[in-house]
């Protein structure tokens, strides 16, 4: 199989895989090369895959979509972080996702200020008319 993990800005992972384990809302599932074509909505969690040499690879992903079509498996997600083992991955996820949460909070705050300013100016325009 050929695994591609896609995030909004780039292809995060593109490599061969002989086995893939992911998690949907109803639990974990495993994909092998002869698995029927498949689509699933993924929940935030750990995506595991094994290289043809037998090495396990791990990535923490945000919610997303997995599609298997023939030998190709695509995972589209908003955020992904790769790690060598679960311990390091957990620490990386904590750091990266905490930073993303802070950025999202700042963006929401800036948007709220813009909306309030727009509403204020619109109200003032109505008072003048």
- Contact present, 85 and 95 (Cβ < 8 Å): no
Round to whole Å and give the CA distance between 51 and 20: 9
Q: Write down the pTM of the prediction.
A: 0.71
Band of pLDDT at residue 129, cut at 50, 70 and 90: low
66-103 pLDDT per residue, tens: 999 999 999 999 889 888 778 777 777 767 766 766 77
Round to whole Å and give the CA distance between 48 and 99: 24
Domain boundaries, the chain: 1-83, 84-129
Fold of 1-83: ATP Synthase; domain 1 (2.60.15)
21-60 pLDDT per residue, tens: 999 999 999 999 999 999 999 998 889 999 999 999 999 8
């Amino acid at each position: 199989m050929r695994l591609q993990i896609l995030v909004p800005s780039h292809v995060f992972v593109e490599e061969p895989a002989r086995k893939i384990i992911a998690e949907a809302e109803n639990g974990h599932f495993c994909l092998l090369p002869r698995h029927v074509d498949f689509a699933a909505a993924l929940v935030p969690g750990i995506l595991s895959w094994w290289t043809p040499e037998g090495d396990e690879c791990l990535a923490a992903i945000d919610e997303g979509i997995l599609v298997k079509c023939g030998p190709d498996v695509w995972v589209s997600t908003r955020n992904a972080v790769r790690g060598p083992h679960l311990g390091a991955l957990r620490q990386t996820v904590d750091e990266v996702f905490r930073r993303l949460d802070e950025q999202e909070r700042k963006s929401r705050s800036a948007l709220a200020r813009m909306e309030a300013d727009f509403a204020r100016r619109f109200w003032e325009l109505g008072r003048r008319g």
